[in-house]
Amino acid sequence: MSFTLYNWVLSGNCYKVRLLASLLDVAYETVAVDFHPGQQHKSEAMLALNPAGTLPVLVAGDLVLTETPAMLAWIAATFDPSGRWWPTNDARAMAEVMEWLAFSSALTATSGEARLKAVLDRPIDLPKALAGAERCFRQLEQHLVERRFGGGVWLVGDHPTIADIACFPYVALSPDGGLEHDAFPAIREWLYAIRGLPGFKTMPGIHELHELREGEAVHG
Partner 1 sequence: MPTEPIGLSRDLPAKRVMRTMVDGQDIAVWRSASGKIAAWANRCPHRGMRLSHGFVRGENLACLYHGWHYGAHGRCTYIPAHPELEPPATIMAQAFSVEERDGLIWVASDGTAEPRGLPGGLAPLRSLTFQTAKSEASEAFSSTPFEGNPPAVQSSDAGGIVLRVDVDSRTLNIAAALHEANQGETTAHLLVSDEATPAQKVSLSRWCEAVRRRAEAHVTTRGQENAA
135 binds partner 1 (CB under 8 A): no
Residue 66 CA to residue 6 CA, distance in Å, equals: 10
Per CB under 8 A, does 121 bind partner 1?
A: no
Q: What are the angstrom distances between the C-alpha of 158 and each of 5, 101, 147, 161, 199?
A: 29, 17, 10, 9, 18
Q: Are 187 and 111 in contact (CB under 8 A)?
A: no
Among residues 24, 59, 60, 186, the one that binds partner 1 under rule CB under 8 A: 186
**Cis bond before residue 56 (omega within 30° of 0):** yes
Choosing from 80, 113, 141, 176, the residue that interacts with partner 1 (CB under 8 A) is 141
Nearest distance in Å: CB 171, partner 1: 16
Stretch that binds partner 1, among 7-15, 96-104, 146-154, 194-202 (CB under 8 A): 146-154
Q: How many CB atoms lie within 10 A of CB 82?
A: 9
- CA–CA distance, 133 with 144 (Å, rounded to integer): 16
Written as one string, the DSSP assignment of 52-114 is T--S-EEEETTEEE-SHHHHHHHHHHHH-TT--SS-TT-HHHHHHHHHHHHHHHHHIIIIIHH
Nearest to 85 by CA among 19, 11, 136: 19
Measured CA distances, 106 to 23, 96, 101, 140, 167 (Å): 24, 16, 9, 11, 9
Query: Which CB atom, from 188 or from 201, has the smaller least distance to partner 1?
Result: 188
Shorter beta-carbon distance to partner 1: residue 123 or 150? 150
The reply on whether position 158 binds partner 1 by CB under 8 A is no
Q: Which is nearer to partner 1, 34 or 146 (CB)?
A: 146
Q: Among 192, 198, 199, 204, which residue interacts with partner 1 (rule: CB under 8 A)?
A: 192
Q: Applying CB under 8 A, does 219 fall inside the site for partner 1?
A: no
Contact window for partner 1 (CB under 8 A) among 13-21, 51-59, 119-127, 176-184: 176-184
CB of 3 to partner 1, least distance (A): 35
Q: Which is nearer to partner 1, 125 or 146 (CB)?
A: 146
Q: Which is nearer to partner 1, 36 or 188 (CB)?
A: 188
Q: Is 185 in the site for partner 1 (CB under 8 A)?
A: yes
- Residue number with CB closer to partner 1 (126 or 193): 193
Helix, strand, or coil here: 30?
Answer: strand
Q: Give me the residues that bind partner 1 (CB under 8 A), please.
A: 138, 141-142, 145-146, 149-150, 180, 182-183, 185-186, 188-189, 192, 210-211
